[in-house]
Chains A and B, each alone.
Chain A
Amino acid sequence: MENFLSQNELRRRILDKGLCAACGGCVGGCPYLVAFRGRTVVLDACAVENGRCYASCPVIPMDSSQIIGLIFGESRPLTGLGIYHNVLASRAADENVACRGQGGGTVTALMMHALEQGLIDSTILTGVSEDGAFPVGIVAQTPAEVASCAGSKYMGAHGLSALRKALDMGKQAIGVVGLPCQVLSVRKMMLADIKQEDIRRRIKLVVGLFCNWAFSAREFTAFLAERFPETAIRRIHIPPPPANCLEMDTDKGVMAVSLDEVRHIIQASCLQCPDMTSELADVSVGMYEGRPGWNTLVIRSDFGRELIDRIIQSRVIETETFPEANLAHLEFASRRKKERPPQA
């Protein structure tokens, strides 16, 4: 079977069907597959028979038990939220960080602290291109660089292409912040390690984000440019149902767009994706519905638990218990995403 795990197969099963999640796992260090304005583009046919591209694609289904074994060691009970130790409400202790983040700035605070403490030497984040026009993957090496990437992008942006950069730079303790698809792609890379780069050891920390779906970056940026010409959009926010809209903080004030206008540019892969809470991350972070300025923090791996304990002690983040009712609601939403039949 290995002979068929090629670019051609990736093309046949994913790219040609428009099922690419634009995670960026396949495009780093490859002259044949490149990310360009939100799309994964095949420039030429590759003849490698067992390539990193196929091995790391999160949309190609696989038995996750191997990954679960890799991250969680012995099997623990699987819930509607995947495997986890506990769920907390959290926010960055530093108000400056908290107000820049999407919810409570937990991820920003966590990654800044991990870099400061030398737990990691770099982290892969999704930032914004130099001209401000497009989300891009970034290898952040300083807390300031982490801070500049705060905020959700709501777009498939090939952020993982920066992981290849970090590996080629020789980074030995890499952190990754990613969407569920990106978390799965990283885990697949760690398992396969096709070029024997000791990836399992070198990727220290994987922080997953909650995600219901993302827009196609090429179409969403074009939509925004046409709909809001000459407007600087600072932050995008999707309020919980029944709002049914996108809210945008812009230099011209808060603007809103009905979700019905943009639903058609949601990536097809997102509608098939069963993972809302990045179940294979060390820790997962998302919005705390109904409580602005706070995050939901899901602590999953043992390493994740140690880390969170340390940063709570260091007063980098504040936590509170996460109410049972909210947990039940989160688990319901997560299960609903799994149970939703794959779209044609």
Chain B
Amino acid sequence: MSLLGLDAPGKEVLLMGNEAMARGAIESGVTVAAAYPGNPSSEIIGSLAGVAAELGIHVEWSVNEKVALEVCAAAAASGLNALVAMKQNGLNVAADFLLNLNLTGILGGLVLVVCDDPSGISSTNEQDTRIYAKLADLPLLEPGTFHEAKDMIRDAFALSRKIGTVCILRSVTRISHARGNVTLGPIPRERIKPFFDPNVRLMALPGAPSHVLVHERLKRAEEILESAPYNIYKGPEMPELLMITCGAGYLFSQEAISILGLSDRVGLLKIGTTWPLPERMILNSLAKASRVLFVEEVDPVLENNVKELYADNNSCLPRIEFLGKKSGHVPAVGELNPGLVIQVVSRLMEAPWGQSGDEESRLAADTLAKFAPPRSLAFCAGCPHRASFWSIKNALALDGRNGILFGDIGCYSLAVLPTGFCQSKTLHAMGSGPGMACGFGVLDRLGSEQPSLAVCGDSTFYHAVIPALINGVHHSSNFLLIVLDNNATAMTGFQPHPGSTLNAQGLPAKPLRIEDICQSLGVRTVIHDPFDVSGTSLVLWDLLQKKGPRVLILRQECALVRGKKEGRRSKVSVNPTRCLGEECGCSRLCTRVFRCPGLRWNPTTSKAEVDEAICIGCGVCADICPVGAIQKEKQSA
């Protein structure tokens, strides 16, 4: 029995925030859960999948976030409790449905968890989900602790059922991916039979009257949430500084107050029901405040909403100085951390704190520098993407017409950086690369001579690329779609996708082959092994000379997946007598340009070396070395 399915009410366990949310869903009797993987949200559905069979839950990795929300909406419309999870970018994909679902409302319980990625650590943006709650007039809760993350899911389901609409829960990286103590509750075992009442019609028309109902539901949510236990005030009766915070900011703020010893001077108002706000409680706190500091991640949502509330009630409130992102006291972008919040509070309260120039800080920085050498973002050793982009780079150079490669979302997003030889010229959303390539591919009619190319991964192909391909076929667009098929949703943790033979629960599933889909559209489709670098360049060059939509599937399993299964494939070594190093005819091609982390430059000997701890033995570097100084010997199993 896994920890997540442990039936031991009252027991305190250590859970990751995402696991705590999954456990919350289990304690709410969730029976359908769906998601498209995306960090930092992936472990919610991932961990539910592990207990799905034993608890009788349908768990799936859906083809994209919109479908995941639709799958869960159907379950909720049938009276079930359904949980859908995604990252902030995914919410954009699901938004079209969400902004109509809010109008119809839903039966059953439907909780949408969105995990935001402040600083965009594993995202292209750091968008704030809370603005969507306001846009959609849907209630949104924000956990500030790990235990709360679990309990909030439970209460979000209850709220969803009570008011008849979707309830959103917003997490951030440091809640989703950090661990803390969680006290387990009971697991309900009774299951209701799904039934969609044929007398019910979920439709948004007519729009304006539906909108009225949306406002009514939100009003009702406000009444229910007013007494929620997630809005807490800690601190003196009349604080010199009132900090208003939510999410991970709560953890950082508590730390700052404690470390600076300010608990008798600074008050902390932690908001868990971010939308709609607990107005009475906030007004009570504002009535005793003179300076307010907002500590929240990404956008000043709490800050703006509280200021709006203040404006509405200013006649009975004191004069208050509001500090936060707008005033410049808190950085307007990026993730917060305890050190940063301590600095802000220390400066405001004139409470001294160890400066960064002191002996200990210097020692810490020196030690860190010694053990963590500076590295840029890079593909893993032996990653097939490196080989693919090497060939793309060469093919585009050989072609010489300034072909443009439109990038997409996945590990291969890194191809905008030197690890992918800066080949991708755009990077936006899932499927946007092929969509733009399709558009660029019709500009030859207007005089463009540049070839149009796009890359996408296998999972992305199913997620959002197929419509672009269909559009390209229909409009005879001249573009080459390169599918980097590594047989995994690698970036988010190797989740299965519609091309996989097993589903989220590890049960057999019908795989849809990318080549079959492309061929069914009448698209010229070629499959090649990217580890054959020179062959791939020529195949690419040849395809670039053709017209119409074309697909090249570069198929080679993710190095991490393969490494786990098979270990090292070949023993790779550098023959130092042949290695030319910095000389004419090499100029450190392998360590300066190809840059696989499995190779390193030895400045003492002026030769390249294989880092055996990292090399996985793909042997691509042996083919790239201009003088055959890198050898590979097949490793016997």
Given contacts A36-B398, A41-B397, A41-B398, contact A47 B588 (CB under 8 A): yes
Docked-complex contact B393 and A30, CB < 8 angstroms = no
A-side contacts of B626, CB under 8 Å:
29-31
Given contacts A29-B626, A32-B587, contact A48 B582 (CB under 8 A): yes
Q: A48-B582, A195-B583 are in contact. Are A31 and B397 (CB under 8 A)?
A: no
Asked whether B582 lies within 8 Å of A47 as measured between CB atoms, the reply is yes
Supposing A41-B400, A47-B592 touch, asked if A31 and B394 sit within 8 A by C-beta, the answer is no
Residue among B397, B421, B587, B592 with the highest chain A CB neighbour number at 10 A: B587
Query: A37 contacts which chain B residues (CB < 8 A)?
Result: 398
Q: Is the CB of A31 within 8 A of B584?
A: no
Interface hub of A39, A46, A194 (most chain B Cβ within 10 A): A46
CB distance from B630 to the nearest CB of A (A): 13
| Contact B588–A195 (Cβ < 8 Å) | no
A36 to B395, CA, bound (A): 10
Closest Cβ neighbor of A42 among chain B residues? B397
- Per-residue CB proximity of A266-306 to B under 8 Å, as 1/0? 00000000000000000000000000000000000000000
Interface centre among B582, B584, B586, B593 (most CB of A within 10 A): B584
A47 to B584, CA, bound (A): 9
B589 within 8 A of A: yes
Please determine whether A29 and B592 come into contact, CB atoms closer than 8 angstroms: no
Q: Does A2 contact B (CB under 8 A)?
A: no
B residues 483-526 with Cβ under 8 Å of A? none
Asked if B585 is an interface residue, CB under 8 A from chain A, the answer is yes
- Whether A51 contacts B397 in the complex (CB less than 8 A), given A30-B626, A31-B589, comes out as no
Chain B residues, CB < 8 A from A78: none
> Which B residues are in CB contact (< 8 Å) with A32?
587, 589
Q: Are B583 and A48 in contact (CB under 8 A)?
A: yes
Taking residues whose C-beta sits less than 8 angstroms from the other chain, chain A's interface range is 20 to 34
Contact A52 B585 (CB under 8 A): yes
Whether the pair A29, B585 counts as a contact (CB closer than 8 A) is yes
Q: Report the bound CA distance from A34 to B394 in whole Å.
A: 10
Q: Is the CB of A52 within 8 A of B584?
A: yes
Chain B residues contacting A50 (CB-CB under 8 Å) are 584
Chain B residues contacting A48 (CB-CB under 8 Å) are: 582-584, 587
The chain A residue with its CB closest to the CB of B626 is A31
Known interface pairs A43-B393, A44-B593; A30-B585 also in contact (CB < 8 Å):
yes
Q: Is the CB of A46 within 8 A of B587?
A: yes
A39: B residues at CB distance < 8 A: 398, 400
Across-interface contacts of A194 in B (CB, < 8 A): 584
Residues in A whose Cβ lies below 8 Å from that of B585:
29-31, 52, 195
Tell me the bound Cα distance from A194 to B580 in angstroms: 14
Measured CA separation A34–B393 after assembly (Å): 13
* Minimum Cβ distance to chain B for residue A269 (Å): 17
Q: Which chain A residues lie closer than 8 Å to B397 at the CB level?
A: 41-43
Q: Which A30-74 residues have C-beta < 8 A from chain B? A: 30-32, 34, 36-37, 39, 41-44, 46-48, 50-52
Query: Which residues in B have their C-beta under 8 angstroms from that of A29?
Result: 585, 626
State A301–B490 Cα separation when bound (angstroms).
66
Q: Please tell me the number of chain B residues within 8 Å of chain A, measured between CB atoms.
A: 18
In the complex, A100 Cα to B342 Cα: how many Å?
Answer: 88
Question: What distance in Å separates the Cβ of B497 from its nearest Cβ neighbour in chain A?
Answer: 34
The distance from the CB of A96 to the nearest CB of chain B, in whole angstroms, is: 37
CA–CA, A41 and B399, complex, Å: 9
Contacts of B593 in A (CB 8 A): 44
**Least CB distance, A187 to chain B, in whole angstroms:** 19
A50–B583 alpha-carbon span in the complex (Å): 9
Q: Report A-chain residues with C-beta under 8 Å of the C-beta of B582.
A: 47-48
Cα A41 to Cα B394 with chains together (Å): 9
Interface bits B552-583 vs A (CB < 8 Å: 1, else 0): 00000000000000000000000000000011
B584's contact among A41, A42, A195, by CB below 8 Å, is which? A195
Report A7-49 CB contacts with B as 1/0, cut-off 8 Å.
0000000000000000000000111101011010111101110
Q: Which B residues touch A195, using CB under 8 A?
A: 583-585
CB distance from A338 to the nearest CB of B (A): 32
Of A42, A43, A47, the most chain B CB neighbours within 10 A belong to: A43
Task: Report chain B residues within 8 Å CB of A43.
Answer: 393-394, 397
Q: How far is the CA of A7 from the CA of B587 in the complex (A)?
A: 11
Name the residue of chain A whose CB is nearest to the CB of B398. A36
A16–chain B nearest beta-carbon distance, Å: 12
Chain B residues with Cβ below 8 Å from A51 are: 584
Closest A residue to B625 by CB, please name it.
A31
Q: Smallest distance from the beta carbon of A136 to chain B beta carbons, Å?
A: 15
| Nearest-neighbor residue (CB-CB) of A30 within chain B | B585
Chain A residues, Cβ within 8 Å of B592: 47
Q: Which residue of A lies closest to B594 (CB)?
A: A44
Tell me the complex Cα distance, A34–B537, Å.
13
* Closest chain B residue to A54, Cβ basis: B584
B407 to chain A, nearest CB (A): 20
Residues A47 and B400 in contact in the complex (CB < 8 Å), given A29-B626, A30-B626, A31-B626? no
Q: Which residues of A contact B421 (CB under 8 A)?
A: 44
Q: How far apart are the CA atoms of A194 and B584 in the complex, in Å?
A: 9
CA distance A195 to B397 in the complex (A): 27
A34 contacts across to B, CB distance below 8 A: 398
> What is the chain B residue whose CB lies nearest that of A28?
B585
CB distance from A180 to the nearest CB of B (A): 25
A136-159 interface mask toward B, CB cutoff 8 Å, 1 = contact, 0 = none?
A: 000000000000000000000000
Q: How far in angstroms is the closest Cβ of chain B from A219? A: 12
Please, how many angstroms separate the alpha-carbon atoms of A37 and B397 in the complex? 12
Most A Cβ at <10 Å: residue of B582, B593, B626: B593
Provide the residues of chain B in CB contact with A52, threshold 8 Å: 584-585
CB of A4, distance to nearest CB on chain B (Å):
15
CA of A37 to CA of B588, assembled, Å: 26
What is the bound-complex CA distance between A42 and B398, given in angstroms? 8
State how many angstroms separate the Cβ of B103 from the closest Cβ of chain A: 55
> Taking each of A36, A51, A52, A195, which has the highest tally of chain B beta carbons within 10 Å of its own beta carbon?
A36
Nearest neighbor of B586 in chain A, beta-carbon distance: A31
Closest to A47 in B: B587
Q: How far is the CA of A50 from the CA of B624 in the complex (A)?
A: 23
Contacts of A31 in B (CB 8 A): 585-586, 589, 624, 626
State the Cβ distance, B624 to closest chain A Cβ, in Å: 8
Chain A, Cβ-Cβ closest to B592: A47
With the chains together, A34 CA to B395 CA distance in Å?
12
One digit per residue, 1 when the CB lies within 8 angstroms of any chain A CB and 0 when it does not, for chain B 397-434 equals: 11010000000000000000000010000000000000
CB proximity of B304 to chain A, nearest CB, Å: 48
User: Inside 8 A of B587's CB, which chain A residues have their CB?
Assistant: 32, 46-48
Question: Chain A residues near B393 (CB, 8 Å)?
Answer: 43-44
Complex Cα–Cα for A31 and B589 (A) = 8
Contacting A at CB under 8 A, from B442-499, are: none
In angstroms, Cα B584 to Cα A52, docked, is: 7
Indicate the member of A31, A32, A42, A195 with the most B CB atoms within 10 Å.
A31
Min CB gap B9→A, angstroms = 63
**Complex-state Cα separation, A122 to B97, whole angstroms:** 73
Q: Quote the shortest CB–CB distance from B539 to chain A (angstroms).
A: 14
Task: Report B363-396 CB contacts with A as 1/0, cut-off 8 Å.
Answer: 0000000000000000000000000000001100
Would you give the shortest CB distance from B202 to chain A, in whole angstroms?
57
Q: How far is the CA of A39 from the CA of B541 in the complex (A)?
A: 14
Bound complex: CA A112 to CA B393 (Å)? 42
A residues near B (Cβ < 8 Å) are 29-32, 34, 36-37, 39, 41-44, 46-48, 50-52, 194-195
Additional A-B contacts beyond A48-B583, A51-B584 (7; CB < 8 A): A31-B585, A31-B589, A32-B589, A39-B398, A46-B587, A48-B584, A195-B583
- Interchain residue pairs with CB less than 8 A apart (24): A29-B585, A29-B626, A30-B584, A30-B626, A31-B624, A32-B587, A32-B589, A41-B400, A42-B397, A43-B393, A43-B394, A43-B397, A44-B393, A44-B421, A44-B593, A47-B592, A48-B583, A48-B584, A48-B587, A50-B584, A52-B584, A194-B584, A195-B584, A195-B585
Top 9 A-B pairs, shortest CB-CB distance: A31-B626, A36-B398, A46-B587, A48-B587, A51-B584, A48-B584, A47-B587, A44-B593, A29-B585
